[in-house]
Amino acid sequence: MRAAVKMDTTAAVTRTDLGDLNFAPRSQQEARALASMVVASLPFPPLPVMVLQGEDGEDGLASSFDLLHTAVLNAQLNAQLNAQLMPADRDAAELARSKAAVLEKLQRDMAALLAASFGGDLPDGQAYEIFCAAFRTYLLDHYAISSRDLRFYPLGAVAPDSVLVQQGSSHWNASRMLSAECDACGGAHFSGYPEMLRAYALDLATLQHE
């Protein structure tokens, strides 16, 4: 399956993902757990990635959560090979700063979009484009993958009962389990993809840095 874009929600977006920790997984199980922690720590909603499926290369839809999880997992299990593929002068500290810069720009762009809407509803389409652009940069610039052809389906392509909505609800709920912000945590939080996207976008747009 090959990704082909058509056309940390977290307490702070300035932190880098957990993949920057000086931690070498001792097994595939530990590597999978770390990859899941990375996905959970980031402020991206699940996005509908365009993929090619089967021998005939038919178009299919996959989740950006699954794509990122696989990329992080491969980075952990193939650290030596990835070190050869990535620029030699890109040490861990610089990589962490680069990741943080992408997340900070994502928050600034979403806050600017909210300001431009004069406190009204965030435009779904523009918020979606911001998320797609940020995720594309984050993934392609920081994980050694074979292709830089990353495409997303249009916002309207995600059905209300899609696995992306389920993933987003679980991700959203998990980030709020220890807070009083969400009375519906533990249940199916979002009724559809646009509602989920607006919640993620507004959460970022109104984030206050300490």
Tokens 């607006």 -> residue:
198
Q: What pLDDT sits at residue 155?
A: 93
CB neighbour list of residue 112: distance below 8 Å, 6 or more residues apart: none
- Per-residue pLDDT, 210: 43
Instruction: Tell whether the model's pLDDT for residue 18 goes beyond 90.
Output: no
How high is the mean pLDDT of the chain?
A: 78
Listed ranges 91-100, 118-127, 133-142; the one with the highest mean pLDDT: 133-142
Question: Per-domain residue ranges for the chain?
Answer: 2-205
Strands 48-53 and 2-3 come out as antiparallel
Query: How far is Cα 194 from Cα 126, in angstroms, rounded to an integer?
Result: 12
pLDDT surpasses 90 at 74: no
Please report the pLDDT score of residue 180 as a whole number.
52
Q: Which of 54-58, 60-64, 109-113, 190-194 has the lowest mean pLDDT?
A: 54-58
Spatial contact of 74 and 41, defined as CB atoms under 8 Å apart: no
54: left (phi over 0), alpha (psi -120 to 50) or beta: left
pTM: 0.80
Residue 45's φ and ψ, nearest 5 degrees, are -80, 165
